[in-house]
Amino acid sequence: MVHGEAWTLKELFVYPNEYIYWTIQIVMYPFMTGLVAGAFVLSSLYHVFGIKQLKDIARFSLVFSFALLPVAMIPLQLHLQHPERGIEVMLTPHFTSAIAAFGIAFSTYGMIVASELWFVYRRHFVETALALREKRDKTIPERGRQLLFSALTLGAWDISEQALAKDERAVKIMATAGIPVACLLHGYAGFIFGSVKANALWTTPLMPFIFICSAVVSGIALCVLSYIVTMEVRKLMVAWRRKSDPSLPTPDEIRTVEMYEVTMTAKYLVLALLAALGLELLDLLFRDYAKFSSWEIVRSLIYGKDFVNVFVIQYGIGNLVPLALFLLPRLTVRRAVVATLLVLMGVFMMRWNLVIGGQAFSASFSGYMHYELPIIPHDIETFKEGLLGALLVGVLPFIFFWGLNKIFPVFKCEDTH
């Protein structure tokens, strides 16, 4: 069976070799890289621009960005017919191919985030290792933790004020350097789509900028949503532990901090959402004004077959409704949860409409193709390219974040900065 035949439905005149080749995993790929870049940009608002109101969520989003990073490549690996060749992008990076340049951007970005995390948490590594070293009758897990945190110090045990001040300057340098690299990491995904001249829906010089703005939107929205969920769990745990340790903060104190961080972050989310929405509408107006030769069939898709997906779900429910929810006075946690979920759905639908919609019309301009998302897999291909494969990609960052939180605690330590 030809790749794509299992989930492609054809309508009217479509060439025999035409199928929906790029499936939900190619939708997940720019969606996940966008979350990586957006989460890092949110953390940089505090580390670079000194917006102290975002201190708690900045540390949270930096660790979350690191947890998202390894997942960014998994959709491509799952989509490849020969996944063993995927590592060659990392081993032989060069600029003669747009996708091969990903190896350079990804590696550079990974090193910057790892370096920034190390400088932020170096004081925690040293203090934890010293505390474990002084403890007597250590258990085997505690001996393992001592070895781990001692190794993470990389031999830099000095936590004097002068050393911590140097760490602080290093964090600012890493965060400053990371912003353009994060934009490059995700902007290049838009560049790949925008440079495909053969596809009328993808080719536009605005595509990289649209991707960057929507990346910031989705990254901030996911961080806010995850932050709220984490704080709600933390409130329940504190309420239970306060019976034995009254020194812990009260649930009301945690709720106050939570609402303050969410309200402040929501302001930047609204600004990014307005910028992304403005660019997307500008691109739509440009296409309508320019009227390229293939515009008629693209128009029949946007204003006809995909009208509900584009204007109702993406722009209406995914952009305008959350915008109204954020702008209404007295923002609540429940309203913020609903709004961020809708924002994430809107960004995902933007990717869906772009990737799937761009393949939905035939090169004959006289036929259409429809993607039937495999729900229940009947072989490895329909698993990887179906709903379960996408859910696997979506769940992995939270598992990584849980594991990283054991090393980089987002709430329980004083960082260097």
Indicate the burial class of 387 (C-beta count within 10 angstroms; 0-12, 13-18, 19 or more).
middle
CATH class given for the domain over 8-407: mainly alpha
Task: Classify residue 271 by its DSSP letter.
Answer: H
Q: Where are the domains of the chain?
A: 8-407
Q: Which of 20, 3, 25 is nearest to 389 (CA)?
A: 25
Q: Are 292 and 200 in contact (CB under 8 A)?
A: yes
> How far apart are the C-alpha atoms of 211 and 207, rounded to whole Å?
6
> How far apart are the C-alpha atoms of 188 and 406, rounded to whole Å?
33
How many other β-carbons are positioned within 10 Å of the β-carbon of residue 190?
Answer: 25
Q: Are 81 and 129 in contact (CB under 8 A)?
A: no
pTM of the model: 0.87
> How far apart are the C-alpha atoms of 207 and 191, rounded to whole Å?
6
Looking at the DSSP bridge assignments, the partners of residue 11 are 368
pLDDT per residue as tens digits for the range 37-70: 888 888 888 877 777 777 778 888 889 889 988 8
pLDDT computed for residue 274 by the predictor? 92
User: Residue 385: which residues within 8 A CB-CB, separation 6 or more?
Assistant: 7, 23, 24, 25, 78, 79, 374
Give the 3-state secondary structure of residue 414.
Answer: coil
pLDDT by residue, tens only, the chain of 417 residues? 677 778 888 888 888 888 888 889 889 988 888 888 888 888 888 877 777 777 778 888 889 889 988 888 888 888 888 888 877 877 777 777 777 777 788 888 889 999 999 999 999 999 999 999 888 888 888 899 999 999 999 999 998 999 999 998 998 888 888 888 887 777 777 777 777 777 777 777 788 888 888 888 988 899 899 889 988 888 888 877 777 777 777 878 888 888 888 888 888 899 999 999 999 888 888 888 877 767 788 888 888 888 998 999 999 999 999 999 999 988 888 999 999 999 999 999 999 998 888 888 888 888 888 888 888 888 888 888 889 999 999 999 999 999 998 899 887 655 555
User: Residue 256: which residues within 8 A CB-CB, separation 6 or more?
Assistant: none
Give the pair of three-digit tokens for residue 191: 């560049």
pLDDT computed for residue 415 by the predictor? 52
> How far apart are the C-alpha atoms of 413 and 169, rounded to whole Å?
19
Task: Give whole-number Cα distances, 284 to 291, 295, 411, in Å.
Answer: 11, 11, 43
Looking at the DSSP bridge assignments, the partners of residue 368 are 11, 361
User: Residue 176: which residues within 8 A CB-CB, separation 6 or more?
Assistant: 44, 48
| Per-residue exposure over 21-37, b if at least 16 CB sit within 10 Å of its own CB, e if not | ebbbbbbbbbbbbbbbb
pLDDT computed for residue 413 by the predictor? 56
Q: Are 365 and 9 in contact (CB under 8 A)?
A: no
Looking at the DSSP bridge assignments, the partners of residue 6 are none
What is the per-residue DSSP string for 20-46? Answer: --S-HHHHHHHHHHHHHHHHHHHHHHH
Looking at the DSSP bridge assignments, the partners of residue 369 are 10
pLDDT computed for residue 412 by the predictor? 63
Indicate the burial class of 102 (C-beta count within 10 angstroms; 0-12, 13-18, 19 or more).
buried
Give the 3-state secondary structure of residue 330.
Answer: coil
Looking at the DSSP bridge assignments, the partners of residue 361 are 368
